[in-house]
Amino acid sequence: MACKPASTLLLSVLLSFALVPGVADGAEPLPSWNEGEAKQSILQFVESVTREGAPTFVAAAERIAVFDNDGTLWAEQPAYFQLLFAVDRVKALAPKHPEWKTQPPFSDLLKGNLKGVAASGEPGLAKILAATHAGITTDEFAASVAEWTRTARHPRFQRPYTDLTYLPMRELLGHLRANGFKTFIVSGGGADFVRVFAERIYGIPPEQVIGSYGGLELRKGADGKLVLMKLAKVELVDDHAGKPVGIQRFIGRRPIFAFGNSDGDQQMLEWTAAGDGPRFMGLVHHTDAEREYAYDRKSHVGQLDKAWDEATARKWTVVDMKKDWKQVFSAP
Amino acid sequence: MACKPASTLLLSVLLSFALVPGVADGAEPLPSWNEGEAKQSILQFVESVTREGAPTFVAAAERIAVFDNDGTLWAEQPAYFQLLFAVDRVKALAPKHPEWKTQPPFSDLLKGNLKGVAASGEPGLAKILAATHAGITTDEFAASVAEWTRTARHPRFQRPYTDLTYLPMRELLGHLRANGFKTFIVSGGGADFVRVFAERIYGIPPEQVIGSYGGLELRKGADGKLVLMKLAKVELVDDHAGKPVGIQRFIGRRPIFAFGNSDGDQQMLEWTAAGDGPRFMGLVHHTDAEREYAYDRKSHVGQLDKAWDEATARKWTVVDMKKDWKQVFSAP
């Protein structure tokens, strides 16, 4: 990197502050972000697309921002939280399914043999998802997720999972919305799962949550009322190349701002980058084993390898959690 | 119907006016609607869910309103406009497909033998849709629809199809939005088709347009840029029982207000009606052969039969186009 004299650097930092909306009148945006390239790249991008008359100005209707959820807006270790929900759900349902005692992967799961569960591979995972995410109505499923978010505790932090959102990212969502952006979640997780709490913890309403989804069937319930049954058939895996598909299907226009943290987000970032006009692409890099977790190229959960190389080559913003964030989670 | 003395009726009409937001300060809502039960049922419902402190009050986030498109927001005769687009598109593409001269249903279509096309049934229609709606990128498809809306003219009215929206329904969309509702289209037509013009003609952004959709595939285009290809495989037919499925999948919560015009909307209305709290269900009845069209139980397009019986039995609002609307379309 070429070095600038300190005075020039100072001047450019001061200038960029003067240009940021809201700073002049005292409401400093992104207070949990340390000063640095990541914070500045965000503030400068938002300023550039909202300044009327600027060649980089983008009409409010086109200010679409998309965020991955697991590892980008909330934690994803020691395993995706939805998987931990499924594990808890199997345990809760086990008394009604005595046959699970001898049927893998349920038998392994109930004995706490998670290596055995992992060895069952995709077919095993599909069985667990079918048993916990299908064969019930959408209302029943939402109620079971809501109950779990109230009662379950993260094994390391001993807090509700919905407490483990990243404060700096929630500030970013707010800063974007204050500047006319519409914020969407584009998650590899299930849309029906994330929608239960997205409005409460992120301020993102259900209709702006895109995720993986399965079949639905309209039926008459026992009381004659209509219900929608969740079927085991998966219809969209909203990950990797499925993310641009989900974005097009649900939003119908291309985002100008995208944030992820893993290789599963690479195509979403590429799809965002491939549009015309100003674009912002960002990645959260998990570098903070003390306050959160440190993992990247070799991780089984949230692997960040190819997307990181592409981000470096294309000068996308990479957030170094340890260096860039003053605080990770809200105080308990 | 039990009769009330004229003075009581007059009083209740005056009172209901006084309660309607916006009326007192001179901005009368729904100016193209004649006074009558339909208009009053709409105004009273909106007033009842927006009056703070009322037992019928509904929080703004839950004010979800869904509208069918064909026959509810714009005309659908002599055939669904998207079908007429497909016909025009086959003609435009024919020079590149010499084989169509001898292949039904294309050969019939190109000779103007629409009875022959109709006789080809669903398989024939699927061929026409695949030829006109798939095998191209989402951007190319949107451009072809935009071009068609600029150049094609309705056979009877000799106006662009996008001119043939119902002015009273556009006023209704505006009245709902002015009262904190989020308005969605839930169309049996293709989402990718309706989204091209929904923002311009209805003020409804693409992310609030739900419709039928097919498969999408992320590919690298000839210039190395990413594109999304439209595949021939249909993934959701957003009609009849597909409408509640589309609503749940895209919005993730139940509407409190739904408007349709045909049996294809019956399940959407039933799904809306089956929720708790205040609900509004409405149907447009096409009764005006002079200004628009008159059709219902026996129509091949937009058949209104079972849904009409249910609306009558359950006292849903049925709009009599001839009687309830001062004006149908905007002046040319």
pLDDT tens profile A118-162: 899 989 999 999 999 999 999 999 999 999 999 999 999 999 999
**Average of per-residue pLDDT values in chain B:** 92
B248:A216 CB<8 A: yes
The per-residue pLDDT for B201 is: 98
Q: Which whole-number Å values give the CA distances from B69 to A70, A265, B43, B74, B185, in the listed order?
A: 36, 35, 21, 6, 6
pLDDT band for position B223 (cuts 50, 70, 90)? confident
**Residues 6 or more apart whose Cβ sits within 8 Å of residue B31:** B171, B326
The per-residue pLDDT for A10 is: 45
The residue written with tokens 């993730």 in the block is B252
Mean pLDDT over B135-158 rounds to 97
Q: Cβ of A141 under 8 Å from any chain B Cβ?
A: no
In the predicted structure, residue B47 carries a pLDDT above the cut 60? yes
The per-residue pLDDT for A40 is: 98
Closest among B138, B257, B136, B125 to B186, alpha carbons compared: B257
Stretch(es) of chain B classified as CATH 3.40.50.1000: 6-20+29-78+164-324
The per-residue pLDDT for B114 is: 83
A253:B218 CB<8 A: no
Contact by Cβ (8 Å): A297, A76 = no
Q: Cβ of B218 under 8 Å from any chain A Cβ?
A: yes
Q: Pick A18 or A95 by higher pLDDT.
A: A95
The per-residue pLDDT for A11 is: 46
Q: Cβ of A140 under 8 Å from any chain B Cβ?
A: no
Closest among A197, A185, A174, A180 to A250, alpha carbons compared: A185
pLDDT tens readout for residues B166-204: 999 999 999 999 999 999 999 999 999 999 999 999 999
The per-residue pLDDT for B26 is: 55
Contact by Cβ (8 Å): B166, B328 = yes
Mean pLDDT over A12-34 rounds to 62
Half-sphere exposure (Cβ direction) of A64: Cα atoms closer than 13 Å: 24
In this prediction, the answer to ipTM > 0.95 reads no
In the predicted structure, residue A25 carries a pLDDT above the cut 80? no
For chain B, the residue count is 332
In the predicted structure, residue B1 carries a pLDDT above the cut 80? no
The domain B6-20+29-78+164-324 is placed in CATH, from the list 3.40.605.10, 3.90.1150.10, 3.40.50.11540, 3.40.50.1000, at: 3.40.50.1000
Stretch(es) of chain A classified as CATH 3.40.50.1000: 34-42+60-77+164-324
Q: Which of B226, B229, B256, B269 to mutate to test the interface with A (most CBs of A within 10 A)?
A: B226
* Cβ-nearest to B248 among A228, A252, A270: A228
The per-residue pLDDT for B74 is: 98
Pairing state of beta strands B294-295 and B280-287?
A: antiparallel
Give the dihedral sign, CA B118/B119/B124/B128: negative
The per-residue pLDDT for B118 is: 85
b/e code A89-125 from CB counts within 10 Å (16+ = b): bbeeeeeeeeebeeeebbebbbeeeeeebeebeeebe
Fold type of domain A34-42+60-77+164-324: Rossmann fold (3.40.50)
In the predicted structure, residue B133 carries a pLDDT above the cut 90? yes
* Cβ-nearest to B245 among A208, A228, A271: A228
pLDDT band for position A26 (cuts 50, 70, 90)? low
In the predicted structure, residue B19 carries a pLDDT above the cut 70? no
pLDDT band for position A224 (cuts 50, 70, 90)? confident
The per-residue pLDDT for B317 is: 98
> Which tokens hold the place of B3?
């009769």
Distance from CA of B152 to the nearest CA of A (A): 24
Q: Nearest 5 degrees, angle CA A207-CA A213-CA A218?
A: 85
Mean pLDDT over A61-68 rounds to 98
CA nearest to A244 within chain B? B218
pLDDT band for position B222 (cuts 50, 70, 90)? confident
Q: How far apart are CA A274 and CA A258, in angstroms?
A: 12
Closest among B219, B171, B156 to B22, alpha carbons compared: B171
The per-residue pLDDT for A1 is: 36
pTM assigned to the model: 0.91
* DSSP-derived secondary structure for B108-147: HHHTT-HHHHHHTHHHHHHHHHHHHHSSSBHHHHHHHHHH
Single-letter code of the amino acid located at B60: A
Distance from CA of B48 to the nearest CA of A (A): 23
The per-residue pLDDT for B10 is: 45
Give A282: exposed, middle or buried? Use CB within 10 Å, 0-12, 13-18, 19+: buried
pLDDT tens readout for residues A243-254: 999 999 999 999
Mean pLDDT over A200-213 rounds to 98
Interface of A with B in 182-211 (CB under 8 A): 182, 191-192, 195, 199, 205-209
**What is the H or E stretch that residue A173 is in?**
helix A167-178
In the predicted structure, residue A4 carries a pLDDT above the cut 80? no
